[in-house]
Structure 1
Amino acid sequence: MLDPAQLYQVDPDAPQLDEPVLIVVLDGFVDAGNAGALAVGALKDEREVTRVASFDVDQLIDYRSRRPPLRFETDHWADYDPPTLDVVALTDTGETQYLLLSGPEPDTQWERFVAAVGLLVEQLGVRLVVTLQGIPMAIPHTRPIGVTAHATRPELVEGHTPWFATAEVPGSAAALLEFRLGQAGQDAMGFAVHVPHYLARSAYPQAARVLLDHAGLATGLYLPTETLTRAAEQADTEIAEQMEESDEVVQVVKALEEQYDQVAAAREAGDLTDGLDGGDLPSGDELAAEFERFLADSDDKEKSGRDDDGEPPHEPPGPANPPPPAPA
């Protein structure tokens, strides 16, 4: 392995924090409902952001798979928005300082990246690392939003009842980070919020708010959620309006409610053998397509002023098995 200390640079003017928490949100892997991205936006919204350390993204990012945008104006290239992977210092609403590592998940050199974060954790005196993301699950939006919690020590997730026992899932840099930190004896944990699979491709601020609520309780931080609360109220209204347009979706949500209630009852009894696998229900992609159709229809009606879009009846989603839930 190349020297991980050469992968990042600490800002010489970076503030000195007293045993801070480090929140980690890496995009590019699973982030259902844009939960992690929305959480990062809420943490930075109207807060002073001070850079502490920067990673050399040229060594970590495959630009041909994730091409950064350049703006062309008339006859020249006018601007470039390069990817950044930085550790920044923020303050919560109680003026307690903490750290945030956010940006694209590295495409290469995972072990070196993880080792580099480990060096930063030691150098900056971090007491706890917390990762955040959203995962799609076959659950209804009408039930409480669940969270899968995981940690390097059982004491860190005390009080969190698991939703399932064992799962084999694709790896991620954030998951590897938690694993390696645990091996090194560093406290680390993560929260994966459960997003209804038919809303996984839409912005779902409810999930981001739940992530920050759980992170705040675990760390003692007072994390800002006001903007997410307002956005969630608007999203709830839009989802309710969309559901009124389709009896098929209403029936599917009712079926998901019944399934959820059965799994929740088994979970309370300590039985983790039955997962939220969706059975014979329509897949998340099919349900998402239904909601997207309603949004498109609503836009058409606003533009035309018609109550009926004149389109032939849309076939209801067919049965399929959605993918199993994937813990972070």
Structure 2
Amino acid sequence: MVLVLDGFLDAGNAAAHAARHLAELHVSPTGPGPVVATFDVDQFHDYRARRPAMTFVRDHYEDYDAPRLVVRVLRDTGGTPYLLLHGPEPDNRWEAFARAVREVVERLGVTRVVAMGSVPMAVPHTRPLTITPHANRPELLVGSSPWRGELRIPSSMQSLLELRLGEWGHDMLGFVAHIPHYLAQLDYPQAAAALLEQVELAGRLTVDLTDLHAAAREREAEIETYLAEHADVAEVVTALEQQYDAFQRAEESGASLLASDEPLPTGEELGREFEQFLAGLDGPDGPSDERPDNGPGWS
């Protein structure tokens, strides 16, 4: 079962875009794959924190985008069936949601859960995209982690679910893509494609990524065009590249991780520069990405 919970762990809409891509590959007259389980959204969703969209037409309301969290049956390009659990991350009752997912896993005979996520990082888009693999058993890991030592991080429903499923004897692994923080508010299909490539390996599935790769090339061209026209923003990206390369050289040599003559721009400097960057890419004169629908007990 592939798992994506929109919200906290989804910089660049990478995971949500990947989940939407999986569903769209299987669109039929009855929808993108039959629903085999649903969760009671009212038990988990904070409507005032994440208000669903509605349409107002002249003098009446219509087209309420109700949040949904469902499990669908999909098939990969080779015909292999798998499940997709997708919707908004629960705002509350995490332990109850974990128990509900456990019931789904056990009732439907799920042998492995594979999660996707993404986080903003101080990395340039011109360098290889990095992914952190994780799992509740070492034998499940597909690749090696770029991290060393112990980190204290904010929790998410996906991370808690991996912990709880492991305690209950069920396998779960996942992948977190590192998104350039100045692109975290944009749709970043490069990362969506990279995540699905890992899902193919972990879930033994085959996925047609042609459309995602095409979207990634278009986004890359948009970014490069913007940088070519805005030297001040390009300078900040160059500074990130220098810092990134210095870090990589230090890692390889075992030396200090900081370059003495290549300081990283401050958060305020980056913020000022990339407010303009985001406005240029996603403003009135730039491309506008359609945001995915937010959609989450088990029935």
Which of 20, 24, 45 does residue 61 from structure 1 map onto?
45
Matches within 5 A, 1:147-296: 147-268=131-252, 274=257, 280-283=264-267, 285-295=271-281
Is contact 2:243-2:264 (8 Å) kept? no
Which of 73, 81, 86 does residue 102 from structure 1 map onto?
86
Deviations 1:58-109 (A, max 9, x none): 1111112122223233333333221100000111111111111111111111
Q: Secondary structure at the match of 2:63?
A: strand
Quote the Cα distance in structure 1 between the aligned partners of 2:91 and 2:282.
35
Instruction: Give the TM-score, by structure 1 length.
Output: 0.78
Quote the Cα distance in structure 1 between the aligned partners of 2:142 and 2:236.
34
1:34 is matched with 13
One-letter identity of the residue aligned with 1:260 = Y
Quote the Cα distance in structure 1 between the aligned partners of 2:53 and 2:111.
36
Is contact 2:123-2:244 (8 Å) kept? yes
Report whether the alignment pairs 1:299 with 2:278: no
Note the residue ranges of structure 2 that are not aligned, 5 or more in a row. 28-32, 287-299
Report whether the alignment pairs 1:116 with 2:100: yes
Evaluate the alpha carbon distance shift between residue 265 and residue 150 of structure 1 in structure 2; reply closer, same or farther with a 3 A threshold: farther
Is contact 1:36-1:132 (8 Å) kept? yes
Evaluate the alpha carbon distance shift between residue 279 and residue 184 of structure 1 in structure 2; reply closer, same or farther with a 3 A threshold: farther
Which of 60, 73, 78 does residue 89 from structure 1 map onto?
73
- Which protein is bigger by CA-based radius of gyration? 1
One-letter identity of the residue aligned with 1:90 = L
One-letter identity of the residue aligned with 2:6 = D
Quote the Cα distance in structure 1 between the aligned partners of 2:281 and 2:142.
41
Q: Secondary structure at the match of 1:193?
A: strand
Which of 126, 148, 151 does residue 142 from structure 1 map onto?
126
Deviations 1:27-56 (A, max 9, x none): 121311110111012111141411110001
One-letter identity of the residue aligned with 1:35 = A
Quote the Cα distance in structure 1 between the aligned partners of 2:149 and 2:249.
16
Quote the Cα distance in structure 1 between the aligned partners of 2:263 and 2:2.
35
Quote the Cα distance in structure 2 between the aligned partners of 1:162 and 1:272.
17
Q: Secondary structure at the match of 1:192?
A: strand
Deviation at 1:182, TM superposition (A): 1.2
Identity of aligned residues (%): 46
Deviation at 1:122, TM superposition (A): 1.0
Quote the Cα distance in structure 1 between the aligned partners of 2:250 and 2:142.
19
Q: Secondary structure at the match of 1:84?
A: coil
One-letter identity of the residue aligned with 1:179 = L
Quote the Cα distance in structure 2 between the aligned partners of 1:286 and 1:94.
47
Quote the Cα distance in structure 2 between the aligned partners of 1:297 and 1:203.
13
Deviations 1:162-209 (A, max 9, x none): 234322111111110001111122111111101111111111110111
Quote the Cα distance in structure 2 between the aligned partners of 1:262 and 1:42.
36
Q: RMSD across aligned C-alpha pairs, in angstroms?
A: 2.4
Which of 26, 44, 59 does residue 23 from structure 2 map onto?
44
Instruction: Give the TM-score, by structure 2 length.
Output: 0.85
Quote the Cα distance in structure 1 between the aligned partners of 2:21 and 2:255.
34
Is contact 2:38-2:69 (8 Å) kept? yes
Deviation at 1:287, TM superposition (A): 4.0
Aligned residues: 277
Is contact 2:190-2:212 (8 Å) kept? yes
